[in-house]
Amino acid sequence: MTEMVRKPFSFNRVLIYTVLLTAAAVYLVPLVVMLLTSFKTLGDISSGNLMALPTHWTMHAWHKAWSTACTGVSCEGVHHFFWNSFKMAIPAVLISTGIGAFNGYVFSKWRFRGSDLIFSMMLFGCFIPFQVILLPMAATLGKMGLANTTAGLVVVHVTYGVAFTTLFFRNYYVGVPDALVKAARLDGAGFFTIFFRIMLPMSVPIFMVCIIWQFTQIWNDFLFGVVFASGDSQPITVGLNNLVNTGTGVKEYNVNMAAALIAALPTLVVYVLAGKYFIRGLTAGSVKG
């Protein structure tokens, strides 16, 4: 940026790199601690410290967290919760993304009188504290027979996810020239033809952003999971919380850390593989919201 900065060995350069790398190390500490602890025995935990390597590397805590650790009354580990989260997240992500794509298409290319107002009304849904809808939603799910089911959680996540997905697609499609759509209409193409033949093929990046964003949000959700699910349908975040807060006897921190890593793994993998899209979603979803 400046001559001072471009000098290869200036004091400032060294300082800048030192600060940045130290900060990076600090951010990484919790992940390292999680990993190290999860491979330790309980003996190692009480004799060593957070950053000490295990004297005896073992997968015991991972096995226990996955299949035998107690999460409240049952002691079957977190594997049920883990699969529940997938059963909930996959349909919820696909449905909310699909609806969002169509909504965004209408709000950008088929605007009608009042559509901007409807868009603003939907946008407001991104901002409400969800505490304000919990009680009526619980009552409604109960009446519909969806209380404590995965289907019920999917309904909830779709309802409150659509505002975000619509926002993503609307902002993306606004950038597509109107002339393209007008020309297609003159050629006789209709609403769906234009969507599937023109808009969809150019939407791959925004689909990536939206799917990754929704998956991370829904996978990481705790509030809806703890309020609207019980037993068989609880997601992994609830399982982890139950495991950590089940207070019987010795605290097995190695098992807690293994369970935390299991809960974190899917979103971490997505982040490592497609972090670019995740960050785009993060900034698009929040700055423009």
Partner 1 sequence: MSTQIGVLSVPAKRPASRVINLIQAWLPKLVLAPSLALVLVGVYGYMIWTAVLSFTNSSFMPSFRFVGFAQYARLIANDRWHTACINLVIFGVLFIGVCLALGIFLAIFLDQKIRQEGFIRTVYLYPMALSLIVTGTVWRWILNPGLGLEKLMHDWGWTSFHFDWLVRSHLSVYTLVIAAVWQSSGFVMALFLAGLRGIDPSIIKAARVDGARLPTIYLRIILPCMRPVFFSAIMILAHLSIKSFDLVKVMTAGGPGYSSDLPALFMYDMSFTRGQLGLGAASAIMMLGAILALLVPYLYSELRSKRHD
Applying the rule CB under 8 A, the residues between 77 and 96 that interact with partner 1 are none
68 binds partner 1 (CB under 8 A): no
Cβ 63 to partner 1 shortest distance, Å: 18
Q: Which stretch binds partner 1 (CB under 8 A): 68-76, 131-139, 143-151, 167-175?
A: 131-139
Q: Is 209 in the site for partner 1 (CB under 8 A)?
A: no
Q: Given CA atoms 50, 52, 54, 59 in this order, what sign does their dihedral have? A: positive
CB of 22 to partner 1, least distance (A): 11
Could you tell me which of 80, 88, 41, 81 has the C-alpha nearest to residue 60? 41
Q: Record the tokens describing residue 17, joined without a space.
A: 């790199």
Q: Is 169 in the site for partner 1 (CB under 8 A)?
A: no
Residue 267 C-beta: closest distance to partner 1, Å: 5
Query: Which sign does the torsion angle of CA 236, 237, 243, 244 carry?
Result: positive
Q: Does 267 bind partner 1 (CB under 8 A)?
A: yes
Do 212 and 281 contact (CB within 8 A), yes or no? yes
Total residues contacting partner 1 by CB under 8 A comes to 99
Q: Is 158 an interacting residue with respect to partner 1 (CB under 8 A)?
A: yes
The Cα–Cα gap between 120 and 10 comes to 52
Out of 179, 186, 204, 250, the only residue in the binding site for partner 1 (CB under 8 A) is 186
DSSP state of 70: -
Q: Are 65 and 262 in contact (CB under 8 A)?
A: yes
Binding mask 210-249 for partner 1 (x = CB under 8 A): ------x--xxxxx--xx---------x--xx--xx----
Residue 52 gets the label, from left (phi > 0), alpha (psi -120 to 50) or beta, of beta
CB of 253 to partner 1, least distance (A): 5
Task: Count the neighbouring beta carbons within 10 Å of the beta carbon of residue 99.
Answer: 16
Among 5, 59, 200, 273, binds partner 1 (CB under 8 A): 5
